[in-house]
Every structure is written in structure tokens, then in C-alpha cells.
């Protein structure tokens, strides 16, 4: 910013350097600048060799690539000295080339990315709901949970899956504040099955879904039924005939009935199964939809107490306070160089933030950490190493079981 506002104070080591880098205020920004500078400053160093240097700088090792780079290095230093640049200054310029290779990219990409970034920023500002729905549609499954947490962080609610309201893409509710998760986000549910659902709804009761003369059940098979039920997309069809979702799942999907009479028998046969365990519901929801059921884990009483005591989520961590809350999602056991065990605990919170906590000195036989349960903890923070703690037993507190 200083260079942009006061370009008259920028010092260039040579007029040729100014010629190449003046548009970027003396900084190396684009890969093309390396090729041009090497060509203009080096001794008999062609533009092709300059472009070759650009490629070689991103490679490590001592093979042929290293030899070729050192050959160009020699010609570059010699040319700089002949043009009146001190050898140590010339080496400093080369060092900048080396450092630059870690982050630079070509100008055409920079222009394209800047245009896309501007367009996205404009759309996100003027049409936030539409932009967020499009963003969620395009994010790959491997990043879907993080994308949904980003949407929540911007204040959007996520409506749970429902075979009567969820479509093929992320949609926006009438109030513009809720994003409706599509059926396409359910892992294991194919396009053909979704078409059968969308083309034949609404379904007022489960029989409308199981015994519909317009539906082609070869396209809506047992696997599709299984993921629909376990993902929660059919919760709206569970009535008082069922003792719980597991009872519903067994009667509808596990032992799929072909006729109404068999369905009635299934209802009686599987009645003792009741509901899924809470841990199972969380697992299925995350596994099949990519959405962590925050509202099911963090009840209002817990949230009220945390807010009353000014305990922030880990995404808003206060280094002075040190106390924060989060929900562990995954434990990765590791060992130090001295073969001492420690854990890397991946956590989330209601701001959409995902973080990692290094837990030193753990004992896998004595230390217990429940996944998908809210914790309050006192943590250390370092700008390089991130979050850490020296004692799970003393610094972590489980907020609900």
C-alpha cells in the first residue's frame, strides 16, 4: 500500500528492473516478470531460457534441472555485473526469484482470478442468498460440510432434508434467510431415484410413497430407501404408528414391503426397535448429508449458559480469556519424535469454523474424549502452532452427555 500511494519513494536497482516491475510498484508479482528480467539482465540469456528458469525455480533437487538452473544463474550474475549491478545485489535479485517461485503465478491467471473474485464479491454483496446457494451447489462433496458451515457463518439457516420440499439444487426460502438442502446432497441417492420422488410428490403418508402406482420402483430401490430414511429426509412421514425412527427404518427400508399387508406386519414385527441412538443419528446425518446437526447437540440451555458467561466459540477465540467452547469431530492419534503420544483433535463450532487442537501428554487408556459432544476448555494459542493443551483432564469440561 505504501508503494502504491508513494511510488516516488520506490528504489530500483537498475533502470531495466524499473521497466519490468514499475506496473507492480517494484514487486515481483507475475511469473512473466522473472522470464523478462532474466532475459534483460543476463548475459546472452534468451527469452526462452528466461521462461525455462521460471519453470526450474519451482523444482527442487540436484539433478539435470539443478544443473540447468545453475547455468542460467551464472549467465544472469555475469550479465548483471556487466550492466553495473554489484554482484551481491545481483545475487539478491536472484534470491528474490527463488522466493517468488513459492507464490507467484502468471499474469493471465491473475487477471482471470481477479475478475472472478470481483464478480463473486459483487454477487455475494447484492444477492447473498442466491450466491450462497450457487456456492453450495458447486462445492465438491469433500468440502461440503465446510461450505455449509461457511453459509451458517454468514447467518443463513439450513433447512433439513425433506422428500416433500427438497429439490435437485440448493434453493432459497421465501424469507431469503434459509437455504433448503437438496436431495442430491444425500450420498447414495441417484438421479433416477430423485426423479421418481420429485415427479410424484407430495406424499402425505408413508403408504403414498411405498405403494404409488405412478412410481417406478426399479429406479427407487432398497438402497435409495435406506439412505432416505437414515438421512432424515423421510422424518415427516413418521407417524404415531412407529415407536421411533429405527422402527420406521426397519419396517420401510430394511425389510421393504411389497404390499400393504406386509407393511402392517412389519410395523408390528419391528415395533420393539424404537429409535436410533443419538450418536447413530449424528453419524448418519454427517455421513449421508455433510451437515452436522448442531441444534441437536447444542441445546438452548447450554448456549444460554455459555453466552451468559461470555464464553466464545473457538472461531471467536480470545487469547486473553483462553476459555472457549467447541465440539470434537475427530481424534487423530500421533507420536512425537521421542515416541510420546499426543492427539490432534479436529473440532467445529456454530460459527462454521473448523479448527485443530494439539493435545500433548495424553494417555489413550486414561484420557477420554467424546466425539460430537460440546466441550468447554482452556487452550493455549500460538500463531505458528495454533491451539494446544497440556492436560485433557484439567482443561477440558464436557457440557452434556
Residue 62 scores a pLDDT above 60: no
Domains in the chain: boundaries: 2-100, 127-278, 300-398
Peptide bond into 202 cis (omega under 30): yes
Between vectors from CA 359 to CA 354 and to CA 364, what angle results, nearest 5°?
A: 115
Q: How many other CB atoms sit within 10 Å of the CB of residue 346? A: 16
Question: In which band, very low, low, confident or very high, does the pLDDT at 296 lie, cut at 50, 70 and 90?
Answer: confident
DSSP string, 229-260: HHTTTTGGG--TT-SSHHHHHIIIIIT--SSH
Question: In which band, very low, low, confident or very high, does the pLDDT at 63 lie, cut at 50, 70 and 90?
Answer: low
Nearest CA among 280, 207, 209, 201 for reference residue 241? 207
Phi-psi region of 339 (alpha: psi -120 to 50; beta: other; left: phi over 0): left
Residue 295 scores a pLDDT above 80: no
Residue 122 scores a pLDDT above 90: yes
Cα distances from 247 to residues 204, 238, 244, 269, 281, in angstroms, run: 19, 10, 5, 9, 14
pTM of this structure: 0.67
What secondary structure, in 3-state letters, does 31-77 show? Answer: HHHHHHHHHHHCCCCCHHHHHHHHHHCCCCCCCHHHHHHHHHHHHHH
Separation CA 344–CA 332 (nearest Å): 5
The cell numbers describing 328, all together, are 470434537
Instruction: Write the pLDDT tens digit of every residue in 159-211.
Output: 889 999 999 999 999 888 999 999 999 999 999 999 999 999 999 999 999 99
Exposure string (b/e) for 312-340, b if CB count within 10 Å is 16 or more? bbbbebeeeeebbbbbbbeeeeeeeeeee
Q: What pLDDT, on a 0 to 100 scale, did the predictor assign at position 58? A: 66
Q: What pLDDT, on a 0 to 100 scale, did the predictor assign at position 325? A: 95
Q: What pLDDT, on a 0 to 100 scale, did the predictor assign at position 97? A: 87
Separation CA 293–CA 151 (nearest Å): 14
Phi-psi region of 180 (alpha: psi -120 to 50; beta: other; left: phi over 0): beta
Q: What pLDDT, on a 0 to 100 scale, did the predictor assign at position 60? A: 56
Q: Contact at 8 Å (CB) between 330 and 345?
A: yes
Instruction: Round the average pLDDT of the chain to a whole number and report it.
Output: 89
Instruction: Write the pLDDT tens digit of every residue in 324-350.
Output: 999 998 999 998 888 899 999 999 888
Question: In which band, very low, low, confident or very high, does the pLDDT at 32 lie, cut at 50, 70 and 90?
Answer: confident
Q: Contact at 8 Å (CB) between 347 and 327?
A: yes
300-398 folds as OB fold (Dihydrolipoamide Acetyltransferase, E2P) (2.40.50)
Amino acid at each position: 500500500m505504501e508503494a502504491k500511494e508513494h511510488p516516488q519513494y520506490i528504489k530500483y536497482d537498475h533502470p531495466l528492473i524499473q521497466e519490468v516491475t514499475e506496473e507492480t510498484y517494484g514487486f515481483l508479482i507475475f511469473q512473466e516478470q522473472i522470464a523478462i528480467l532474466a532475459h534483460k539482465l543476463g548475459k546472452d540469456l534468451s527469452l526462452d531460457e528466461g521462461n525455462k528458469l521460471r519453470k526450474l525455480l519451482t523444482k527442487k533437487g540436484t539433478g539435470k534441472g539443478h544443473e540447468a538452473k545453475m547455468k542460467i544463474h551464472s549467465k544472469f550474475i555475469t550479465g548483471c555485473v556487466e550492466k553495473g549491478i554489484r554482484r551481491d545485489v545481483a545475487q539478491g535479485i536472484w534470491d528474490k526469484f527463488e522466493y517468488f517461485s513459492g507464490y507467484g503465478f502468471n499474469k493471465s491467471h491473475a487477471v482471470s482470478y481477479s475478475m472472478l473474485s470481483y464478480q463473486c464479491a459483487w454477487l455475494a454483496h447484492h444477492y447473498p442468498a442466491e450466491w450462497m446457494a450457487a456456492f453450495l451447489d458447486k462445492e465438491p462433496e469433500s468440502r461440503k460440510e465446510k461450505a455449509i458451515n461457511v453459509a451458517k457463518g454468514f447467518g443463513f439457516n439450513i433447512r433439513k432434508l425433506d422428500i416433500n420440499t427438497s429439490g435437485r439444487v440448493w434453493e432459497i426460502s421465501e424469507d431469503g434467510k434459509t437455504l433448503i438442502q437438496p436431495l442430491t446432497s444425500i450420498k447414495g441417492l441417484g438421479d433416477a431415484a430423485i426423479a421418481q420422488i420429485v415427479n410424484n410428490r407430495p406424499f402425505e403418508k408413508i403408504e403414498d410413497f411405498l405403494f404409488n402406482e405412478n412410481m417406478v420402483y426399479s429406479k427407487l430401490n432398497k438402497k435409495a430407501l435406506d439412505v432416505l430414511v437414515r438421512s432424515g429426509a423421510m422424518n415427516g412421514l413418521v407417524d404415531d404408528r412407529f415407536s421411533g425412527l429405527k422402527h420406521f427404518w426397519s419396517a420401510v427400508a430394511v425389510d421393504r414391503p411389497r404390499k400393504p399387508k406386509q407393511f402392517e406386519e412389519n410395523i408390528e414385527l419391528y415395533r420393539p426397535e424404537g429409535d436410533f441412538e443419538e450418536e447413530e443419528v449424528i453419524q448418519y446425518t454427517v455421513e449421508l448429508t455433510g451437515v452436522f446437526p448442531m441444534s441437536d447437540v447444542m441445546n438452548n440451555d447450554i448456549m444460554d449458559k455459555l453466552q451468559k458467561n461470555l464464553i466464545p466459540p473457538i472461531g471467536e477465540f480470545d487469547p486473553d480469556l483462553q476459555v472457549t467452547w467447541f465440539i470434537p469431530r475427530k481424534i487423530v492419534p500421533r507420536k512425537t519424535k521421542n515416541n510420546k503420544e499426543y492427539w490432534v483433535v479436529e473440532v467445529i463450532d456454530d460459527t462454521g469454523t473448523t479448527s485443530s487442537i494439539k493435545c500433548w501428554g495424553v494417555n489413550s487408556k486414561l484420557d477420554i474424549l467424546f466425539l460430537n459432544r460440546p466441550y468447554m476448555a482452556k487452550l493455549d494459542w500460538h500463531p505458528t502452532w495454533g491451539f494446544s493443551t497440556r492436560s485433557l483432564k484439567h482443561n477440558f469440561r464436557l457440557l452434556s452427555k
